[in-house]
A = this chain, B = another copy of it.
């Protein structure tokens, strides 16, 4: 199995970062504006991505498979691109002085393909968007996300 992993520090309390990862309204502020769903363990969340012209370019569904307040949030993908189904996104939080450290994982890819490399780069930019949201109140969720290559 192949994992994408990243680490970012956010100058904010654990609880603010946890809210941005565990609640659909939070996720809508940094990943994609069109995020709908529940915020309870086992709850389903749907996300939809559009390009700046409004055309749909992708959608996925995940369940909140682990919610440990101020510590851990896991998303288990049940629909979306074939490569994503069955994968898990994990956020592990830890406090370090004024910072919340986020250890991010997009885990259990069946293989490392070019799309994995695209997603790794794209996740890094979305984690910068998460930091902006939590530190300043305004992130860059799709369709206002940073474009990184010819795919998105």
Can you tell how many copies of this chain the complex includes? 2
Cβ-defined contact, A103 with B112, below 8 A: no
Cβ-defined contact, A121 with B3, below 8 A: no
Count residues on chain A whose CB falls below 8 Å from chain B CBs. 30
Assuming the contacts A121-B7, A121-B127, asked whether A150 and B96 have C-beta atoms less than 8 A apart, the reply is yes
Residues from chain B with a CB closer than 8 A to the CB of A117 are: 5-7, 103-105
User: Whole-angstrom distance from the CB of A139 to the nearest CB of chain B?
Assistant: 16
User: Complex formed: what's the CA distance from A8 to B114 in Å?
Assistant: 11
User: Complex formed: what's the CA distance from A38 to B6 in Å?
Assistant: 32
User: Whole-angstrom distance from the CB of A14 to the nearest CB of chain B?
Assistant: 14
Cβ-defined contact, A5 with B103, below 8 A: no
User: Complex formed: what's the CA distance from A96 to B96 in Å?
Assistant: 43
Set B3, B9, B121: member contacting A6, Cβ < 8 A: B121
